[in-house]
Amino acid sequence: MVTTRFAPSPTGRLHVGNIRTALHNWMLAQEEGGEFILRIDDTDAERSKEEYVDAIRADLKWLSLNWTREERQSTRLDAYESAFQSLRDAGRIYPAYETSQELELKRKVQLGRGLPPIYDRGALAMTDEQRAAKEAEGIQPHWRFKLDHDEAIEWVDGVRGNTKFDAKLLSDPVIRRADGSWLYMLPSTIDDVDMGVTQVLRGEDHVSNTAVQIQMFTAMGATPPKFAHEALLVGKEGKLSKRLGSLGCDAFREKDIEPTAIIALLARLGTSLPVEPIADRATLLETFDLGTFGRAPAKFDDADLERINTAIVHAMPYDAVKDRLPEGMDEAGWHAVQPNISTVGEVTEWWRLVTGPIESCEFSDEDKAYLAQAAETLTWGDDPWGALTSALKEATGRKGKPLFLPLRQALTGMNHGPDMGELLPLIGEAEAKVRLEKAAK
């Protein structure tokens, strides 16, 4: 069974890049009838906050990205400790004592010599006496995973294809800090093994992490999952945008963007498939294929999201929105204003044209006389707007804008808006007559 995971750190709110990763992992599991795990990577006790955990859950639920089960790294510390000891006993984890300043100096020297700035494994040359002396000075070690320089690192990436790394050109990663707290690499690998993760889909900024983690899987005697790395999001200007790092569900909700619009955009953003206002997730799942993912950065543009949102709103049935509409607005009212809105939230302002009060307009004496005639002519039937305008056209010879605009202005206080044929029956005969008579004075 396909098992994927979305593993956010609860140190902040989800942003659009996180949401896209979560969506694609959810889709990967859904298309195979598999399992989608929400894994809260909360080993950073100082920065992790429960309010962010709650916000992550709420955002995923709002997007209907429902997870099969939830795991938390903070409850799995014993598992990490056990694997750590086993790998240490096997010689794959070793202590290192350099300070951050010493490591930075080493990097500068290497760069100055034209060498790759990777860790030189100086800690491996230390004797037991030298280590004891460091610890006697109160210097506690951090811990590194020892890469096997003789083991080839290669995999068939779901997006990038055949991918290879030379282990000699990678630093032995720090996996544990001097205070005993964990960094990302080893706990994530242990979790993927224990939770049966079969597919890891994440951003291409994790490619070198994958190379390292493949050796961790091998060192633990586990088969690595399949990996795929999708291109990162960039802004419409073509550069990495800090704004994308703060653009999340709160911002979308503030703009009254539909979750289905976000899903429709992000599902295909960065693929060869057209981005379309598809509200049906089954359709999106049918066409989901890692083979369509491109290597070029995926451009996120607010205008595309707004365009998709407008199209989706225009196609939304009344039953899908009835609980969000103003009091008294029925299906006929929704259909009347629907073509004029780009978000459901705009309905309230348009519904005011029915419930009033409306803005007063200035009319010429000639138009006032015309509106007085309209008030007298108004009759009610199946099509009161059609009957009114036909009678006025016949009686006055007006046509086009001079025929329709004064009536719209008198009845709605606006120069444009919903189809008057649908709107006038909602306003009602008595109110319509009052508005025409008032405008004629």
Known binding site for ATP: residues? 242
Rounded CA-CA distance 10/14 in Å is 9
Q: How far is CA 165 from CA 35, 210, 385, 424, in A?
A: 30, 10, 73, 70
Q: Among candidates 232, 226, 230, which has minimal Cα distance to 156?
A: 226
CB 63 within 8 A of CB 94: no
Cβ neighbours of residue 116 closer than 8 Å, sequence gap 6 or more? 110, 169
Residue pair 350/418 in contact (Cβ under 8 Å)? The answer is yes
Which residue's entry shows tokens 């998709």? 308
Please give the radius of gyration of the chain, using alpha carbons only, rounded to the nearest integer. 32
Please give the annotated binding residues, written as ranges. Answer: 242
Helix, coil or strand: residue 298: strand
Closest CA to 351 of 362, 361, 341, 364: 341
Q: Which residues pair with 144 in a beta bridge?
A: 94, 174
Task: Output the CA torsion sign for 118, 124, 129, 134.
Answer: positive
**411 and 424 in contact (C-beta within 8 Å)?**
yes
**Which amino acid, residue 204?**
E
Beta pairing, strands 298-300 & 233-235: parallel
Instruction: Write out the two tokens for 144.
Output: 């590194």
User: At 394, is the secondary structure helix, strand, or coil?
Assistant: helix
88 CB-contact burial (10 Å; exposed 0-12 / middle 13-18 / buried 19+): middle
